[in-house]
Amino acid sequence: MAFKDLGEFLVVEPLVLPIRGKEYSFPGEISARSWLMVQRIGEKYERARRAKEVGQEVDPDEEVLSDQDEGILRAEMFGGVDEQMAADGLSSGHMERVFQTLIAFHLSGREAAEAVWQAQGEAKAPNREQRRSATTSTRSRGKRAG
């Protein structure tokens, strides 16, 4: 039995976020390069979380991505919707909340993104074990191994 071409059946839906009565649709898929950047962000978060659990200090200024890489990642994750958000008069707080939600979405899936969204960015991201044990349909999210 041969593997089917993944492109024939992988469906990744956009993430739609409501803000001030308007729905903004963000790309559900990002490039492999950007996905790897998101993974680095998740790994940094996990290292910091573990260090805090054992009472170690965490350097909040430790660079995970260069400014250039972060700009590339933001642009790809927003998919041009940030321009519409700016034109609609949304604030930096709105943009940052959306970015945090998109990170959670691409790192851990729709449920994690909803938790971040509902908690207004205060929700903890699932740890690696929780992400691995989560069962998410490729049709609804396009879950990738990580």
Domain boundaries along the sequence of the chain: 30-54+65-133
Give the percent of the chain with pLDDT over 70: 82
Average model confidence (pLDDT) across the chain: 84
CB atoms within 10 A of CB 57: 8
Instruction: Report pLDDT for 122.
Output: 52
Which of the given ranges, 4-13, 76-85, 134-143, has the highest pLDDT on average? Answer: 76-85
Residue carrying structure tokens 């469906």: 11
Average pLDDT for 93-106: 95
Question: Which residues have CB under 8 Å from 136's CB, separation 6+?
Answer: 109, 110, 111, 143
Token readout for 118 is 């509902």
Strands (E) across the chain are located at 15-19, 22-26
Q: 33-72 pLDDT, tens per residue? A: 999 999 999 999 898 889 989 998 888 788 888 999 999 9
**pTM (predicted TM-score):** 0.75
Residue 37: per-residue pLDDT: 94
